[in-house]
Amino acid sequence: MRSLRLPALLWGLVLTICLIFSAWQLLRGASLDTRITALLPETHQSPGVDRANDQLSAPFTHRFVLLLDAEQPGEAAAELASDLEAAGVVSELRYRPGDYQLDSLLEVLGPSRYRLLSDDLRATIDSGDTDDLRRQSLSSLVMPTGIDQHPVRDPFGLLNRWLDSQLSTRFDTQGDLVTLKVDGRNLVVMTATLSGNAWDTGLQDRLTDAIASFQKTHPEAHLWRSGMVFHAADGAHQARSEISTIGLGSLIGVLLILLVVFRSPVTIATLLLPLATGGVFALAITLWWFQGIHLLTIAFGSSLIGVAIDYALHLQCARVLAGRTFRLRTMLPGLALGLVTSVMAYVVQAFTPMPGLRQMAVFAGCGLIGAWLTVVLWLPMTRVRTTPGTQTLAGRLWQVLERLRGRLGPRLALVLAVIAVVIAGVRLQSDDSLRLLNTSSQQLLGDEALIQRELGRDTGTVYLLITAHDSEGFLGRVESLDPMLDRLVKDGHLSSHTSLADHVPSGARQSANLERTRTLYQQQLDRVYASAGLPPALYERAMAMLETSPPLTLDHWLASPLGESDQRLWLGDIGKGQVAGMITLNGRLDSAGRQQLESLARSDEHIELVDRVEQISNVLGKLRRQIAQWVAGALVVLTLMLALRYRWRTWRVIAPAGGAILTVLTLYALLGVPLNLFHQLALLLVLGIGLDAGIFMQEHPRAHHAWLAITLSIISSLLAFGLLAFSATPVLHHIGMTTLIGLASVWLLTALVQHRLPGDQTTTSDHEHDHG
């Protein structure tokens, strides 16, 4: 072992550098990406779309909405507001009319009111039949209502008419509360801005506790919730619950099994050490290579590194059973082949056009290499205890192997494989739906749907990205799309749409509106004054107001408190002399409506239809297909490589992994379970452990330690990953179910395909020639 001291020290130095580098990168703010679109190929990504996605989701991420139904709404709303503010979770809370800065209405819109006409008012003026407008104006002058109904500044109440067309008729005020009518009941509308990050578990807990405390003291009240923070809290609560049950249970199970076998906490620590060092090495290389890391890479890359425990188990099992007669050189061929095959199966994905797969491949490959080096360089220098109990267990497991081996020959295996391929090819379906990533309860999803529907605005999951040379061109282009979008709404293909042009007409439309207002004044204003008994001199003063009316600009609107909620719809300058903004398509959009919008986008380079849900589903689908294609190619290459060493026995090496994968796919096909990305990521784990099992059984066909290590590896992996089948989180459930079926199949197939040994030619060590 002295020959390993210098390499071991050098490897320790490398790991120390990796640890320092990773900590430095993370502390200085290295990119921890959570965007699913970051997994897309660079050539298919639009910076405008990325910015639009971030901007449209920002209000949903940083704010939340509550609808409150209570017997005493004023008292209940005030108490809930007090609880939220005392919890320190909100920086701003609005639920009273005064909270919405409505006093800025006159300042922002007043000077431009003559240029702001609703569709109905424009149509009325254009028809020339304005007598009703004159009568309404006369009535309002006698009994003024609304905002600034002044005989000179606004004799026809243009500002109030514009506001009536802009504000939803569902909103109202009840006492000193802003309310929304839902199913005949007035619900208090409370909108809040978070004081911190929606993914901060501390903030989530304080918010959840504050709402729970309120509901405990007001059991008669009902709350509906909307906002990313509630979905994040739901996911975090479920994750903590499952960690304390499934996670803790699997950890205890793994440790107990290893303790029963090895009877030494130190030996168990040496089994886990390669996982830690592999993770450190993989993290450092990934941060250096990609200047950041995606959280999915950490999640799935870490599970693939879990294959590395195979190396430690095989080495330590051999050392425990062989005692002083152990020689590392007898293990190196198997360990080396196990590493090469696993790394090839994963790293081949680094050549795909998918950034996400490339990063996962680098992370998993480097993690395996780092773990392997730890096993080979460090573990032989640690002490292990040789115990009779381990010898006895290995012997009993070998008896099980003896009863199973030789029951699956190459001809039967080939027939079964062909049948499985046909069944999977004909019946297996796929599912790349975003539901796979959902961790929210049905109640919360119901709350979210109701609030988004009643408020008439959603999170902007489907929208049109519009580009133009300037803001005026943008508004004009948006207005040109209004007739088509309105027709889709009228025909029932679309629920509603929202754009900046709803609140800020284009300059051309504002000029045309000003002319309409001048026509209205010329037709009816002198008759209004005469009927009201006002002096005719007011006419000239009122007409003079039109001449000084400035247009309402997009910049002025967005900079005002009134336009704050519209800021999400404007990207502004996106480079190359272009500006951009969005039209959100709210609620339901059926296939007929989608087809029309897709046709529109194809015919106009300035319009792009973006469906964020579909975009994420496409990413998941592309990842799934790329994994399948590249792993299949890697398996072909690996089979040819392994054939150079194992000749006719190669099928016994490939059968456990390949057969387990076909077993999973066939079962899913027969049961109607659609295949998704997370099933395939779990199959990578099955592939790695299956290849290792096949290789080690061929390298050490008569050694008890090989079958003991394979069994322990599969049991520990089943406990670590297979128990996830009982998770309520869809992603974890899919990984767990696939791992459970796949690894159980690996263990059984590994035994079934082994050839029968003549006589009692077995040993606990590797001193005998294993390939005879």
Q: pLDDT by residue (tens digit) across 63-85?
A: 999 999 998 999 999 999 999 99
Burial class (CB in 10 A: 0-12, 13-18, 19+), 467: buried
- Residue 168 in this model has a pLDDT that exceeds 60: no
- Residue 768 in this model has a pLDDT that exceeds 60: no
pLDDT greater at residue 675 or residue 617: 675
Contact 339, 311 (CB under 8 A): yes
Residue 738: predicted pLDDT: 93
Residue 771: predicted pLDDT: 40
* Sequence-distant contacts of 26-33: CB under 8 A, at least 24 apart: 26/287, 30/287, 30/291, 30/292, 30/293, 31/291, 31/292, 31/293, 32/292, 32/293, 32/294, 32/295, 33/292, 33/293, 33/294, 33/295
Q: Is residue 129 part of a domain?
A: yes
Burial class (CB in 10 A: 0-12, 13-18, 19+), 415: exposed
Q: What sections of 102-227 are H helices per DSSP?
A: 104-109, 119-127, 131-142, 158-166, 201-217
Q: How far is CA 729 from the centre of its chain?
A: 13
Residue 449: predicted pLDDT: 86
Contact 368, 308 (CB under 8 A): yes
pLDDT greater at residue 617 or residue 770: 617
- CA 9-15-21 angle, to 5 degrees, is 140
Determine the Cα–Cα distance for residues 238 and 724; give it in Å rounded to an integer: 13
Given pLDDT bands bounded at 50, 70 and 90, which one contains residue 41?
low
Q: Report the pLDDT averaged over residues 85-102.
A: 87
The domain in which residue 536 lies consists of: 101-169+507-551
Closest of 486, 485, 468 to residue 477, by C-alpha: 468
Q: What sections of 353-463 are H helices per DSSP?
A: 355-377, 388-404, 410-427, 442-455
Contact 730, 441 (CB under 8 A): no
Closest of 202, 198, 190, 191 to residue 87, by C-alpha: 202
Task: Write out pLDDT tens, residues 393-437.
Answer: 999 999 999 999 989 999 999 999 999 999 999 999 998 887 777
Residue type, 729: T
Residue 762: predicted pLDDT: 54
Contact 741, 345 (CB under 8 A): no
Given pLDDT bands bounded at 50, 70 and 90, which one contains residue 40?
low
Determine the Cα–Cα distance for residues 433 and 419; give it in Å rounded to an integer: 29
Q: What is the DSSP letter of 761?
A: -
What pairs with residue 194 in β-bridges? 90
Closest of 553, 560, 568 to residue 498, by C-alpha: 568
Q: How many CB atoms lie within 10 A of CB 219?
A: 7
Structure tokens at 594: 């989608």
Residue 668: predicted pLDDT: 96
**DSSP string over 585-637:** EEEEE-HHHHHHHHHHHHH-TTEEEEEHHHHHHHHHHHHHHHHHHHHHHHHHH
6 CB-near residues (< 8 Å, 6+ apart): none
- Residue 770 in this model has a pLDDT that exceeds 60: no
Task: Write out pLDDT tens, residues 501-544.
Answer: 999 999 999 999 999 999 999 999 999 999 988 998 999 999 99
Q: Is residue 483 part of a domain?
A: no
Structure tokens at 715: 């049991």
Closest of 167, 169, 191 to residue 503, by C-alpha: 167
Determine the Cα–Cα distance for residues 165 and 513; give it in Å rounded to an integer: 15
Q: Report the pLDDT averaged over residues 99-111.
A: 80
Q: Report the pLDDT averaged over residues 87-97.
A: 92
Structure tokens at 743: 């690894």
Task: Give how far Cα 442 sits from Cα of 435, 447, 448, 455, Å.
Answer: 12, 9, 10, 20
Determine the Cα–Cα distance for residues 95 and 76; give it in Å rounded to an integer: 12
Q: How many CB atoms lie within 10 A of CB 411?
A: 8
Q: What sections of 405-441 are H helices per DSSP?
A: 410-427
Determine the Cα–Cα distance for residues 80 and 210; give it in Å rounded to an integer: 8
Structure tokens at 342: 């696993």
Structure tokens at 451: 């609030």
Helix (H) or strand (E) holding 464, with range, is strand 462-468
Return mean pLDDT, the chain: 87
736 dihedral zone (left: phi>0; alpha: psi -120 to 50; beta): alpha
Whose structure tokens read 């005026």? Answer: 472
Determine the Cα–Cα distance for residues 235 and 215; give it in Å rounded to an integer: 21
Q: Is residue 106 part of a domain?
A: yes
Residue 277: predicted pLDDT: 93
Q: Is residue 123 part of a domain?
A: yes
726 CB-near residues (< 8 Å, 6+ apart): 246, 733, 736
Structure tokens at 127: 């028809």
Buried-exposed string 31-66: b where 16+ CB fall within 10 A, e elsewhere? eebeebbbbbeeeeebebbeebbebbbebbbbbbbb
Q: What is the DSSP letter of 337?
A: H
Structure tokens at 295: 């959280």
Report how many domains make up the chain.
1
Q: Is residue 603 part of a domain?
A: no
Given pLDDT bands bounded at 50, 70 and 90, which one contains residue 102?
low
- Residue 743 in this model has a pLDDT that exceeds 50: yes
541 CB-near residues (< 8 Å, 6+ apart): 152
Q: Is residue 154 part of a domain?
A: yes
Task: Write out pLDDT tens, residues 202-232.
Answer: 899 999 999 999 999 999 999 999 998 998 8
Q: Is residue 112 part of a domain?
A: yes
Helices (H) and strands (E) in the chain, counts: 29, 13
Q: What share of the chain is helix, strand, coil (3-state, %, to 5)?
A: 70, 10, 20
Closest of 708, 690, 706, 679 to residue 750, by C-alpha: 690
Determine the Cα–Cα distance for residues 466 and 488; give it in Å rounded to an integer: 18
Q: Report the pLDDT averaged over residues 693-697.
A: 93
Task: Give how far Cα 520 sits from Cα of 114, 155, 511, 597, 623, Å.
Answer: 11, 11, 14, 38, 61
Q: Is residue 159 part of a domain?
A: yes
pTM for the model stands at 0.78
What proportion of the chain, given as a percentage, has pLDDT over 70? 92
Determine the Cα–Cα distance for residues 437 and 729; give it in Å rounded to an integer: 8
Task: Write out pLDDT tens, residues 443-495.
Answer: 998 998 888 888 876 777 899 999 999 999 999 999 999 999 999 999 999 98
Contact 248, 241 (CB under 8 A): no
What pairs with residue 624 in β-bridges? none
Contact 567, 58 (CB under 8 A): no
Residue type, 350: A
Structure tokens at 282: 């993989």
Whose structure tokens read 């209940």? Answer: 76
Q: What is the DSSP letter of 430?
A: B
